[in-house]
Amino acid sequence: MDIYSAVYPLNCILRVLGLTPFNVVGVSGSRRLQDSKILTSYDLSIIMCLAILALLKLTLFMEYTDHSFFINVRAIEYAAIIVTNIILRLACLLKKSKYESFYKTLNKIDKNFQNINRTYSKVFWRLIYVLLITFVLLSFYYIGRCQLHLANNRSGLFPSIVGCLVTVTSGTTYLVLIIDFTSSVCIINQRFKALRVIINNLVLLEMPIVTSEMHLLNARIVSLSSIKRKLQIILKVHGLLCDSSSFLTAAFSVQLLFIFGVSFLTVTYNSYFCVLSLFNQSKGVFSGTEWNLIAFYWLMLTFLSNMALLSACNTTTHEAKQIAAVVHKLFNKVMDPDVRDELEVFSLQLLHRKVHFTACGIFPLDFTLLYSIFGAVTTYLVILIQFQLSIEHDNKVSDATGPSLRVSMTPDPI
């Protein structure tokens, strides 16, 4: 099984959602990504539909007679979600060359260095399990959210249906893109781990004897020239893996920037929504245990998906750094000048070609981002709660002194 066969189920879902212009064509062993004009047109049509949906939603909000803070926040919320979905699809189309280069580079490694451990059958089944679990969890959320939307259709059935469409489209898009990026990072991590094991075996000198150069990476060390040849092969593979990580980062940087931006807003609004229940604050039609459960459920889905993505990036970066430590162990053990020259070249490559994942270079994708998000969300929660308590106090004073305009800062859970 090759890499294109392993990601074929995910490619089908991406095509349905309008997130890729590529088809997987060919037979097993010689498959490739093919740019399809039909899929590109389909992706653009979905973008047009989302733009129409945004205008429709804006028109519905403009028809409301009550333009309170609450209504305006809901309008901004839905507008941000739809615009983000449009940008995600445009970025997938504009960055398609980087996406294709990532798979071509990995396929080149597989074809030229067949003895690098490949477990695409595991990748395939892991993707199937993750997709099934994701859609089961999403289905529970969508059923509950849509039922609550339809039960609270103060403005009619049509606005509620539009709200349900926005919810289903946005949530599925975010999670599928996260799965696509995370699975790709895991494949790179698998390759770096295989390289580390091979170099560590060079240090330990524990490898089986082979008779062909094709399996040189798994050969016993019979001479210093064989060590040198092994290091040259490892150097090429490491360079290709660095290229693949760069292509992957370039292909997903814009999408990840907006996904984490929306995730931050989602966590902030839903956390605020849940905290209001602890203070027994009124949330209008959104009061009730059902809305609190929906908000908390989406918080957990957002946390788990982002945690999986950051964990994969952090593990891959750490695995790439571990190679440097093993290389320097071998450098201290081997005294041959030719082999030490190869190790010095390898060491320079490790120094200048770092593996790291970022969102447009604005912030790194590791566990420090999770800490930053928690800190920012906590800060905004404290500010929002202070404003809410202050507003409630002013309203009580107004009720005691005379009629006045009452205000509310209660958001709609995303």
Residue 71 confidence (pLDDT) = 57
Match 């940087």 to its residue by tokens. 253
Closest CA relative to residue 233, chosen from 204, 213, 247: 213
Tell me the per-residue pLDDT of 313-327, one tens digit each, with 9 for 90 and over: 999 999 999 998 888
Residue 102 confidence (pLDDT) = 94
User: What is the share, in percent, of the chain residues with pLDDT greater than 70?
Assistant: 77
Match 């999408």 to its residue by tokens. 255
The half-sphere exposure of 93 on its side-chain side, counting CA atoms within 13 A, is: 20
Match 């059902």 to its residue by tokens. 290
Please provide the DSSP assignment of 270-335 as one string: HHHHHHHHHTT---GGG-SHHHHHHHHHHHHHHHHHHHHHHHHHHHHHHHHHHHHHHHHHHHHH--
Tell me the per-residue pLDDT of 120-149, one tens digit each, with 9 for 90 and over: 888 888 999 999 999 999 888 888 877 776
At 204, list the tokens: 């330990």
* Separation in Å, CA 221 to CA 115, 160, 201, 243, 268: 16, 69, 10, 29, 57
Tell me the per-residue pLDDT of 69-97, one tens digit each, with 9 for 90 and over: 555 666 677 777 888 888 999 999 999 99
* pLDDT higher than 50, residue 207: no
Q: What is the mean pLDDT of residues 27-33?
A: 80
CB 298 within 8 A of CB 175: no
Higher pLDDT pick, 347 / 151? 347
Residue 410 confidence (pLDDT) = 47
Tell me the per-residue pLDDT of 242-273, one tens digit each, with 9 for 90 and over: 999 999 999 999 999 999 988 888 888 878 87
* pLDDT higher than 70, residue 24: yes
Closest CA relative to residue 113, chosen from 251, 7, 239: 239
* pLDDT higher than 80, residue 217: no
* pLDDT higher than 80, residue 285: no
* pLDDT higher than 80, residue 182: yes
* pLDDT higher than 90, residue 279: no
* pLDDT higher than 80, residue 370: yes
Q: What is the mean pLDDT of residues 199-228?
A: 58
